Copies of this chain bind each other. A is one copy, B any other.
């Protein structure tokens, strides 16, 4: 006696009513996409072969036929994402427009990638704490130290050294953003020269360019 497995047992598969069983490259791509979504949604720690298979509407053995384990799968997912998200720099014949075009493309392309870094980092904690993802990130990444940064500028303003209103806020945040950025990239304290360069080559000239610093103020002069 042959029993077919309950024809109309449930919602069959994708959008199509019948079945349309995928194979080969198409199936593989669907799995990798599902893996990406899973990574973004629940993070590496909570991603399982079963969860990816379910999201891709396929079964675990299909995954294991292709990748030996979870790590191999995740690597393949990351590779695919990178391969399908190449950033190209436009050539407009003008530095400003080149930069804006490229930075925009970069930003859009990489946003998703970084999202998984964060999801992967904190998703495990989110569930337990009831914090929102953004709350968690802000807490972890130090937005809470903004009040401190304001102090530095306020004191300088009190001394008459600086006119904070003369520069866009992005400029004032700049050195802290750069330190945070370097930390995230290198995971080590910044060399003293780099901090010096941020202050002397970047921030102070910029404050001067915006006319926010008294050019005669000796101490704020760039050395050498």
A contact set with B: CB distance below 8 Å: 44-45, 69-72, 74-75, 78, 87-89, 91, 93-100, 102-104, 106-108, 110-111, 113-115, 117-118, 120-122, 124-125, 127-129, 133, 137, 140-143, 145, 148-149, 151-153, 155-156, 159, 161-162, 167-168, 170-171, 174-185, 187-190, 192, 194-206, 208-210, 213, 219-220
14 contacts between A and B (CB under 8 A): A74-B125, A88-B148, A95-B159, A96-B220, A103-B198, A104-B190, A107-B183, A117-B117, A120-B120, A120-B122, A137-B185, A170-B201, A206-B209, A208-B209
Q: A187 to B116, alpha carbons, bound, how many Å? A: 9
B141 and A185 contact, CB distance less than 8 A: yes
Q: Name the one of B104, B106, B194 contacting A170, with C-beta atoms under 8 angstroms.
A: B194
Given contacts A201-B168, A220-B95, contact A179 B71 (CB under 8 A): no
Q: A137 to B124, alpha carbons, bound, how many Å? A: 21
**B residues less than 8 Å from A137 (CB atoms):** 185, 187
Q: Name the one of B87, B174, B189, B209 contacting A209, with C-beta atoms under 8 angstroms.
A: B209
B152 and A102 contact, CB distance less than 8 A: yes
A133 to chain B, nearest CB (A): 8
Q: A125 to B75, alpha carbons, bound, how many Å? A: 8
**B residues less than 8 Å from A220 (CB atoms):** 94-96
A189 and B111 contact, CB distance less than 8 A: yes
A96 and B171 contact, CB distance less than 8 A: no
**B residues less than 8 Å from A170 (CB atoms):** 194, 197-198, 201-202
**B residues less than 8 Å from A181 (CB atoms):** 177-178, 180-181, 184
A193 to chain B, nearest CB (A): 10
A152 to chain B, nearest CB (A): 5
Q: A156 to B202, alpha carbons, bound, how many Å? A: 21
Contacts A118-B187, A133-B187 supplied; 16 other A-B pairs, CB < 8 Å: A44-B121, A89-B151, A91-B155, A94-B161, A94-B219, A96-B200, A98-B152, A102-B149, A106-B145, A110-B183, A111-B189, A114-B184, A170-B201, A177-B181, A201-B210, A202-B206
